[in-house]
Structure 1
Amino acid sequence: MKKIAILKYIFLCLLVSQSFFAQTAKFKKGKYNFVVAQDGSGDYKTVQEAFNAVTKLKSERTVIFVKSGTYKEVITLEADKNNVTLIGEDMDKVILTFDNYSSKINPVTNKGYGTGGSSSCFIIGADFYAKNITFENSSGAVGQALAISIQGDKAVFKNCKFSGFQDTMYGADGRQYFKDCYIEGSTDFIFGSSTAFFDNCKLYTKGGSAITAASTKEYINFGYVFNNCKITGTGSRITTLGRPWRPYAAVAFLNTEMSDAIKPAGWDNWRKVENEATARYSEYNSSGTGASPTERVKWMKNLTADQAKLYTVENVFKTTYANPPVIDNWNPNKVINLYK
């Protein structure tokens, strides 16, 4: 009986080992091109090393899996590294972080990094997709300090977290889609000129002038679109929804629940009355104690039901950021559906 039990145990061990090695082989060679792991169990120990290994101007997607860990490094995906997918093991356990900020001295130039140079992560290549990743600037409340700078067109983020204080997230001319994401910061923590759609996202404000500081180009129909989102914060009446970094800033909140962190006026003109004539600020079906429809500034717009129907993912992203815009009917859900 004892001999039979030992044989059964050995047999079970063999089955488990075979299953493990089969899954590992599939994990590394089938589903992903590269695996990043700090403990050396992957192809690379840093995300930047994996980005460096991506073939330039590749038409097929390069898929990178990142194992849990805090990766303290300034990360740059160059312009000629397109169609890159970055998938984390767990959003709360895969943290891409650094602690540069605007006035911090860059040892290379002996000058401050500036706002644009302070980012922990620079996404310049087009058609980037990230899932289950935290992008962080860990410098704290020290002024402008970006967690991510998105400069490539057609960037998609699913179940990602963006953490910082002032100027957490920057988007340049181009299109970005955020699905089921969490974004936190203080003053202007979502800023830039991009057309960005925030779908079912959570925004957490730590106070400051405004959540958004858009600089949408005049010829662009849609700037920031927040749909089915939720806003909370550290206190009551500590911020507005937006202030125009440049004239013609466009921001719309639809079907969004707002806590009392939002000031009743809702919007700010950045101390320039002339911005009230150009800023394209609107709301539809706002709810919660921060909605305050009767106390909003007079120069924002309440969308009708028919106008709100125009704010769909398909319609917002159907044209490029070129001048004049070109119809290409970009659909970010196509890349999301590849990695469910």
Structure 2
Amino acid sequence: MVTGTGAEEIMQWNKKISSFCAAMLVAATGLFAQKQITVAPDGSGNFKSIQEAVNSLPGDAKEQRIIFIKNGTYSEKIFIDKDFITLKGENPEKTVVKIAQAREEWRCDNKDDYGTATLNLRGSDITLENISFINSYGKDNTKEKTIACASDSGKSKTIRPYSHQMALRSFATTRLIVKNCIFRAYGGDTVSPWNTDNGMFYFKDCIMEGGVDFYCPRGWALADNCTFICHDKNAAIWHDGSKYEKSKTVLINCKFTGDDDFKLGRYHRDAQFYLINCSFARNMADADIYLVPTNNTLLWGRRIYYYNCKKDGGDYAWHKNNLPAEFGINDYNVPWVYDYQWNPVGAELKAADKTADQAAASRNIQDTVAENMLLYQRSNGGWPKHFKGQNVNYKKQLTDDELGELKKGFAEGIDATIDNSATTKEIRYLAKAYKSTGDKRFLEAAQRGIDYLLKAQYANGGWPQFYPDFSSYRSQITYNDNAMINVLNVLFDVVYKYGDMDVIGASYADKCVDAVVRGVQCILKTQLKQNGQLTAWCAQYNAKTLAPEMARKFELASLSGMESVGIVRFLMRIEKPSPDIVASIKAAEAWFEKVKITGYKYVDIPAPNEPSGRDRVIQPEEGSVLWARFYDINTNEPFFAGRDSQPKKTVAEIENERRVGYAWYGRWAEKLLAEEYPAWKKKLNKN
């Protein structure tokens, strides 16, 4: 990883890493050199315990490590806080991991849920196959019991047999693949893959059983050909998609059964359900997925969609076909579920044990999104964010006239940009598409995108929002909406072959080293000071003087409570940071602590008298923390501006169109301060 701000230093560190890895390849004769670890209760494997096998693996990895689990009952609770791990059992009926744990009981002695489930996940890129995960608390404890509970106001708590009992609970996990597994509990929340930020979960050929909301994903989830067995009348499934409008839970070819009059599902936060080709038992209640009475503000309304769902004994009226007008059943594909951020089916095709026929088939998969990205790419290698005044939609089939317009704009490429994740998003998607399909056109397009980014960089290390269009604020060095940080993260991943960027090639890695170094230098130079003390960053700077500047009329020169978070996160990726980088990160953390706003939340409310029909307001909420988007460079006072470019002290003073059309407050630095910075500091102190 980058070890400072000098290219020579980086290359020296790379050589050290290469030498170390070469020595390891020669010397490794022990467990870590094996492609697969075996766990067996009779001692015939490497370990008798699954947790011991997990603990034996190094913390850092970029490729999947397989733990093969022989048949047997493993009475243990599993914790996985490492990435790229596969737990693969022999037979889901005979490879059983089992505990008895009520969530309320666990929380009496523990501050969070990490440990409440049979399987507890904090790592990402995890695969589970052919295993049963059982939490038998409700079956083993058929009556209520009262226990001492120090965390309860009454110092005791009554635990019910059907209280929350989790077989799977995830935290910051994403890209979880689960195939042919069984999850059983006898209370609520059996399968709880929770991560509204970027959680993506894939369940295939699984059985899930439990009480209320026993399948309750947060984020993006797909269940394909799964069976759901419900033992509670309130609801079988639940979803939380409150962080992003496109978050969704999709259930296709699934079967629902359970106790008499069980209800299908419910929600009390923003949610989005798609049920396609599902079958419902005869004894399911005549009750659509419903909204629980809640104080939560729902931004996107009711989004419950069905297609070709059938009920034994006759259909109910509420599950008739009602897909949204802009989405046809032929538009369905697995990457769509995840907003084209991930393709778990593609990941399966890349597995080491795929057959030659499967490999050949994967190369013939047509990726229409990638194909359209090729059409939109400009001659200079970049991509636009808009086409005909609308956001680029790679799912849309283009007319002949639209194709003609695209070709006209191809040569100039004047609209190529890094704003709104344009160009960086396409590079990442095309690299993944190349790995899934083997189509070299996708790789070559991604490489041309890298060329564009390298060409667009200023000598001082910054990037303009647009290139080559330098009109107005487009020439400014732009951190706004993480534009420059998105670029640096892509180039950083190319240098170190992280994720799908490993396909870009060694020649590009060499080119990107210098760009990353100069980008870091620019970040350090643009961090603003107050009375000689480093603080945070403005969203945009003059390309020549590096002075903070105004962009759009409502984006005045300021310290940014949002963009500064992305900058710090990038700097914390540097494994061996120079003293200047360490000082920069620590100063920014201190500034975030200083300017945080406690005891309030920022919410949408109905406002029939406003032009938009809604409003955004600050409301008291104990324990909540917010940061303003813009702070005065000298005083740290939050301020707000409408299209008149006049700073106001409160968001209520600007026009409604801007109040609801811009992110003026957010919880942007919350996770950074609570989790990421302490972990970085702890790691730094070890080095």
Shorter-chain TM-score tier: 0.7 to 0.9
Give the direction of change, closer, same or farther, for the CA distance of 1:69–1:333 in structure 2 (3 Å limit). farther
Partner of 1:260: 282
Give the direction of change, closer, same or farther, for the CA distance of 1:336–1:186 in structure 2 (3 Å limit). farther
- Per-residue CA deviation, residues 209-241 of structure 1 (Å, 9 max, x unaligned), is 111121112524142100011111132x222x2
1:334 aligns with 2:347: yes
Tell me how large the CA RMSD over aligned residues is: 2.8
Deviation at 1:337, TM superposition (A): 5.8
Partner of 2:262: 238
- Match of residue 184, structure 1, among 209, 224, 233: 209
Give the direction of change, closer, same or farther, for the CA distance of 1:70–1:192 in structure 2 (3 Å limit). same
1:278 aligns with 2:281: no
Structure 1 residue identity aligned to 2:213: D
Partner of 1:214: 239
Asked whether the 8 Å contact 2:212–2:233 carries over to 1, the reply is yes
Asked whether the 8 Å contact 1:149–1:169 carries over to 2, the reply is yes
1:56 aligns with 2:59: yes
1:168 aligns with 2:181: no
1:310 aligns with 2:334: no
Asked whether the 8 Å contact 1:244–1:279 carries over to 2, the reply is no
SS of the residue aligned with 1:50? helix
Paired positions, count: 294
Partner of 2:80: 77
Structure 2 residue identity aligned to 1:86: L
Partner of 2:104: 103
Asked whether the 8 Å contact 1:135–1:161 carries over to 2, the reply is yes
Structure 2 residue identity aligned to 1:282: Y
Asked whether the 8 Å contact 1:258–1:291 carries over to 2, the reply is no
C-alpha separation between the residues in 2 aligned to 1:229 and 1:286?
Answer: 9
SS of the residue aligned with 1:302? coil
Q: Quick check: 213-222 or 271-280, which moved more?
A: 271-280
Asked whether the 8 Å contact 2:236–2:262 carries over to 1, the reply is no
SS of the residue aligned with 2:117? coil
Partner of 2:531: none
Partner of 1:146: 166
Deviation at 1:111, TM superposition (A): 3.3
Give the direction of change, closer, same or farther, for the CA distance of 1:134–1:261 in structure 2 (3 Å limit). same
Asked whether the 8 Å contact 2:227–2:254 carries over to 1, the reply is yes
Asked whether the 8 Å contact 1:96–1:133 carries over to 2, the reply is yes
Give the direction of change, closer, same or farther, for the CA distance of 1:245–1:192 in structure 2 (3 Å limit). farther
C-alpha separation between the residues in 2 aligned to 1:318 and 1:105?
Answer: 35
Give the direction of change, closer, same or farther, for the CA distance of 1:218–1:93 in structure 2 (3 Å limit). same
Partner of 1:157: 178
C-alpha separation between the residues in 1 aligned to 2:313 and 2:323?
Answer: 18
- Per-residue CA deviation, residues 137-156 of structure 1 (Å, 9 max, x unaligned), is 11113300100013311000
TM-score by length of 2: 0.40
Give the direction of change, closer, same or farther, for the CA distance of 1:231–1:88 in structure 2 (3 Å limit). same
C-alpha separation between the residues in 2 aligned to 1:129 and 1:189?
Answer: 20
- Per-residue CA deviation, residues 4-47 of structure 1 (Å, 9 max, x unaligned), is xxxxxxxxxxxxxxxxxxxxxxxx99985210111111111111
- Per-residue CA deviation, residues 266-290 of structure 1 (Å, 9 max, x unaligned), is 2222135986972321111110237
Give the direction of change, closer, same or farther, for the CA distance of 1:196–1:52 in structure 2 (3 Å limit). same
Identity, in percent, stands at 28
SS of the residue aligned with 1:178? strand
Deviation at 1:161, TM superposition (A): 0.7
Asked whether the 8 Å contact 1:264–1:290 carries over to 2, the reply is no
Asked whether the 8 Å contact 2:106–2:116 carries over to 1, the reply is no
Deviation at 1:316, TM superposition (A): 1.2
C-alpha separation between the residues in 2 aligned to 1:227 and 1:266?
Answer: 17
Point out which structure has higher relative CO (alpha carbons under 8 A, 6+ apart).
1
Give the direction of change, closer, same or farther, for the CA distance of 1:123–1:272 in structure 2 (3 Å limit). closer
Deviation at 1:105, TM superposition (A): 5.2
Partner of 2:497: none
C-alpha separation between the residues in 1 aligned to 2:34 and 2:181?
Answer: 20
1:249 aligns with 2:271: yes
SS of the residue aligned with 1:130? strand
SS of the residue aligned with 2:344? coil
Give the direction of change, closer, same or farther, for the CA distance of 1:290–1:55 in structure 2 (3 Å limit). farther
Partner of 2:402: none
Give the direction of change, closer, same or farther, for the CA distance of 1:68–1:156 in structure 2 (3 Å limit). same
Asked whether the 8 Å contact 1:102–1:112 carries over to 2, the reply is no
Deviation at 1:261, TM superposition (A): 3.5
Asked whether the 8 Å contact 2:37–2:53 carries over to 1, the reply is yes
- Match of residue 47, structure 1, among 40, 50, 56: 50
C-alpha separation between the residues in 2 aligned to 1:279 and 1:98?
Answer: 37
1:122 aligns with 2:144: no
- Comparing both structures, which one devotes a greater share of its residues to helix? 2
Give the direction of change, closer, same or farther, for the CA distance of 1:266–1:230 in structure 2 (3 Å limit). same
Q: Quick check: 285-294 or 38-47, which moved more?
A: 285-294
C-alpha separation between the residues in 2 aligned to 1:337 and 1:232?
Answer: 34
SS of the residue aligned with 2:267? coil
- Match of residue 34, structure 1, among 37, 49, 52: 37
Structure 1 residue identity aligned to 2:66: V
C-alpha separation between the residues in 2 aligned to 1:38 and 1:113?
Answer: 32
1:3-14 alignment, distance < 5 Å: none
Deviation at 1:113, TM superposition (A): 7.6
Deviation at 1:67, TM superposition (A): 0.7
Deviation at 1:189, TM superposition (A): 0.2
Give the direction of change, closer, same or farther, for the CA distance of 1:290–1:307 in structure 2 (3 Å limit). farther
C-alpha separation between the residues in 1 aligned to 2:215 and 2:201?
Answer: 12
Asked whether the 8 Å contact 2:162–2:211 carries over to 1, the reply is no
